[in-house]
Structure 1
Amino acid sequence: MNPTISESNLLGDRTVLTTAALKELNTRSTLKGLIRFTAHLLILGVSGYLWGTNFGHNWAIAVPALVIYGYSLAAMFAPLHECSHRTAFENNTLNDFVCWFAGVLSFYNGAFYRRYHKWHHRYVQNLEKDPELSDPMPKNLGEYLWMISGLPWWWSKLTTHIRVALGQVEDYPYISEEARAEVIRSTRLQLAVYGVAILVSIAVQKPWFVMYWLFPLFVAQPILRGYLFAEHTGCSHDDNPLTNTRSVMTLFPMQFIMWNMPFHAEHHMYPSIPFHQLPAAHEQIKQHLAHVDSGYIKVNLDIATKLV
C-alpha cells in the first residue's frame, strides 16, 4: 500500500492521507505566498500598462492585454480564497489584509466571503445549506449562458454589498452576531474605496475607474464564471469529498493565476493544505477522486451539452 495512504481510504472518507503525510503537506510558507502574490500583481501591472498604452492605437496588443488584465483582476478571487482559509501566509494578519485587498480588486468582500466560504465547506453540495447553491442552477442553455455572462453575479454582488453596508445582515446565517460589526465595517470601507476612485476619475476628467477596473473586470468575468461553475456542477450532492468536487487538469497559466485551485477536490478534502502543496497532494490521492477532468472548456461544453 502507498505509505502516504491510510487503510481508511477504502471507506471513501476524509482520511485518505495518513497523519504524517497531511502534516507534511500542511506547511504554510509566507515566502511562497509573497512570491505568488507579487507575480500576480506583476501580471496585473504589465497587462494593465499594455492595455492602457495601446488602447485606441494598437488593438492587436490592446485586446489580448485587456483579456489578461481583466482576468488578472477577476482572478484576485484566488488569493482572496486562499487567504480566507489563512493558508497563503504564516501570519494571519497578512492573510486577512491580502484577503480584503484582493476582494476590493475582484469585487468580493474578504470579511464576508470568509464566513460565507466556511459554510460552503461545511455544507458543500447540500441543497438546503450550501450558500453557493442559493442561486438556482440553469435548467437550459439560455439560463446557462445568462449565468456565464456574469450579469447575475454583478447584480448579486452589488445588492449584497449595499445591504451589508446598510447593516442588513440578518438574512446571512453564516454571519454570526459577533462578526457582524467587522463585516459591515469592512464592506463600508470597500465601497468607500470605490467611491474615492470614482471621484478621482471625475476630478481629473479621466475614465480611469471604468477603463482600469469596471470594464476589464466585466470583460473577464465570464471566464471566472466558467471556472467556478466547473468546481461542483455534475458532482454528487452528498458529504463525500471524493465525489462531490471536481479537479481540472488545466494549462499552466490558468493553474498559476488561480493559485492551484483547479486542484479543487484535493482542497475540499483537506482545506488546511496551502496552495503550493496542492499539486503534491493531487499526486498522492488522484486515484481516489471521482471527477478529474481535462480543461475548463471541455467541462463547460459537457455541462452545456446536457442542457440543450
Structure 2
Amino acid sequence: HTYTQNWEKDGELVREPYTLTTYLLWMSGITYWRNRVFGVIRRSRGIIIEPFIRAEEEGKVIWESRIHILFYILIVGISVMFHSWAAMAFWIIPMLLTKPVHQLQNTIEHLGLSHENNILENTRSTRTNALMRWLCWQMPYHTAHHVFPSVPFWKLRILNAKIEAQAGTVHRMGWIEFQIEVIKCLVAKDESRWPQNEVWVVAVAGGRVRVLAE
C-alpha cells in the first residue's frame, strides 16, 4: 500500500480513468476477467508491462504465470477425462457469478477520493453491519488497514477507533450508497474530468472533514 492512488505506481490503478461504460463493465466482472486471462497469457510469454513489477522479479512472475497455465490445462484435462463438471460447478461458475458482489467492496475503497499522498484522504472505509464486517475479515475498516497494513484484521476495529479519536471521522459510505453516487458522477462526466486531488464521490449524510495539522 506504499503507492495508494498513485496513477503510475499503484498496482490497483493500472487502468484508464473510468467512463460510465467502462465502470459498469468492470463492475460486471467482464473486463476484470478479460484482463486476468489475457494478463497471465501475456506474462507467460515473457511480456511484462506492469510498472510495479521490479526488473529482478520479472523472471519469477513469468514462471509463475506459466505454472498457473499448466495447472489450468491439467484441470481441463482431468475434467474431460472423468467427464466431470465439478470444476465448472464449484469453481468457475460461482466465481463468475459472485464477482460483481466482490466488486462492491473493491470499488468503494478508493474510487472518487483524492490522489494525494495521504491515506486519510485517499482511502474509504465501508459503513455496514457486524455480520458483513466479519464475513469481509474486517476489511470495511479499510482506512485503518491502509494506515497500518501489518495490523491483523481482528484488531482493525480498535485501530479505527484510535485513528478517528486522533484524526477525525474517516471517509465512509455504504456499498449501495456509493454505487448510486459514483454512477451519478460518471453520468455527469468521466473520471478524468473530476479533480484528482479532491473528493468527488461524497457521502450523502456528510462525511470526513479534513483536520489540518496545527
TM bin, normalised by shorter chain, reads 0.7 to 0.9
Output aligned runs, 1:209-224, within 5 Å.
Answer: 209-224=87-102
Give structure 1 regions of 4+ aligned residues with deviation exceeding 3 angstroms.
none
Mapped to 1, the partners of 2:135 and 2:71 lie a distance apart of: 24
Partner AA of 1:151 in structure 2: I
Q: Which position in structure 1 is the counterpart of 2:113? A: 235
Asked if 2 retains the 8 angstrom alpha-carbon contact of 1:248 and 1:292, the reply is yes
Structure 1 residue 286: deviation in Å?
A: 2.5
Tell me which of 239, 254, 258 is aligned to 2:132: 254
* Residue aligning to 1:307: 186
What's the offset of the Cα at 1:230? 0.4
Count of aligned residue pairs for this structure pair: 185
Tell me, yes or no, if the aligned pair for 1:236 and 1:244 is still in contact at 8 Å. yes
Task: Assess, with a 3 A threshold, how the Cα gap between structure 1 residues 307 and 172 changes in structure 2: closer, same or farther.
Answer: closer
- 1:253 Cα deviation from its structure 2 partner: 3.7
Partner of 1:165: 44
2:60 is equivalent to residue 174 of structure 1: no
Please give the residue correspondences for 1:79-90 in structure 2 after superposition, counting only pairs within 5 Å.
none
In the TM superposition, residue 235 of structure 1 has moved relative to its aligned partner by 1.0
Match of 1:108 in 2: none
Distance 1:306 1:176, change over 3 A: closer
TM-score by length of 2: 0.79
Q: Is the 8 A contact 1:246 1:265 kept in 2?
A: yes
Given the alignment, which residue of 12, 20, 26 partners 1:132?
Answer: 12
**Counterpart code for 1:198:** V
Query: Partner of 2:23 in structure 1?
Result: 144
TM-score where L is the length of structure 1: 0.56
**How far off is 1:152 after superposition?**
0.4
Where is the helix percentage greater, Structure 1 or Structure 2?
A: 1
Report deviation, 1:290: 3.8
Q: Deviations over 1:1-56 (max 9, x none)?
A: xxxxxxxxxxxxxxxxxxxxxxxxxxxxxxxxxxxxxxxxxxxxxxxxxxxxxxxx
Matched position secondary structure for 1:254: helix
Which runs of structure 2 are paired with 1:1-308 in the superposition (5 Å)? 121-140=1-20, 142-169=21-48, 171-287=49-165, 288=167, 289-293=169-173, 295-308=174-187
The percent identity for this pair of structures is 31
2:122 alignment partner, SS class? coil
Structure 2 unaligned segments of length 5 or more: list them: 188-214
**Structure 1 residues not aligned, in runs of 5+:** 1-120
Q: Could you report, residue by residue, the CA deviation over 1:104-156 in whole angstroms, capped at 9, with x for unpaired residues?
A: xxxxxxxxxxxxxxxxx22211233323222123222x333212111000010
1:138 touches 1:147 (CA, 8 Å); kept in 2? Answer: no
